Amino acid sequence: MGYEEEYAHICLTHSYLNNDVDCVAGGHPPRNEFRDTFIKNHQYTIYEKIINLSDLMCKKQVMTVEKRIIDLLMRKGVHDNTHYHIEEALKLKEEIETQLGFSIYDLFPTIKEHL
């Protein structure tokens, strides 16, 4: 469709953690051969991982990953892949924090005030 490949990759990867289309909130998505193969074989960049984490922290406002997980549970319910998605979301947060050397919440003063 003429989009830069980098941006198209983000559109495909932003909701799927751990190179797995089943590591997503709300149950298992309908199968799509192109998407499923792309996600499985794509090497996520640090930029894409930050987008994943950002997507987990945002709805109408920035919130903690933990609050966002509760929001997702309330809206999308609990499915057989929910525990897996939560574990991978928290691992991603820890990975980014390890690279930063501090809590991701230090970057968001309004979140930090409510911890």
Q: Residues 93, 97, 25, CA angle at the centre, nearest 5°?
A: 5
**Tell me, what's the pLDDT at 28?**
95
pLDDT at 23 over 80: yes
pLDDT classification of 8: cutoffs 50, 70, 90? confident
Distance CA 56, CA 51 (A): 9
Distance CA 108, CA 103 (A): 10
CB count within 10 Å of CB 11 equals 10
CB count within 10 Å of CB 29 equals 13
Residue with the bigger pLDDT between 92 and 4: it is 92
**Tell me, what's the pLDDT at 48?**
93
Share above pLDDT 90 across residues of the chain, in percent, rounded to a whole number: 77
**Tell me, what's the pLDDT at 61?**
85
Q: What burial class does residue 1 get, using C-beta atoms within 10 Å of its C-beta: 0-12 exposed, 13-18 middle, 19+ buried?
A: exposed
Rounded alpha-carbon distances, angstroms, from residue 12 to 4, 38, 98, 103, 110: 13, 8, 25, 27, 30
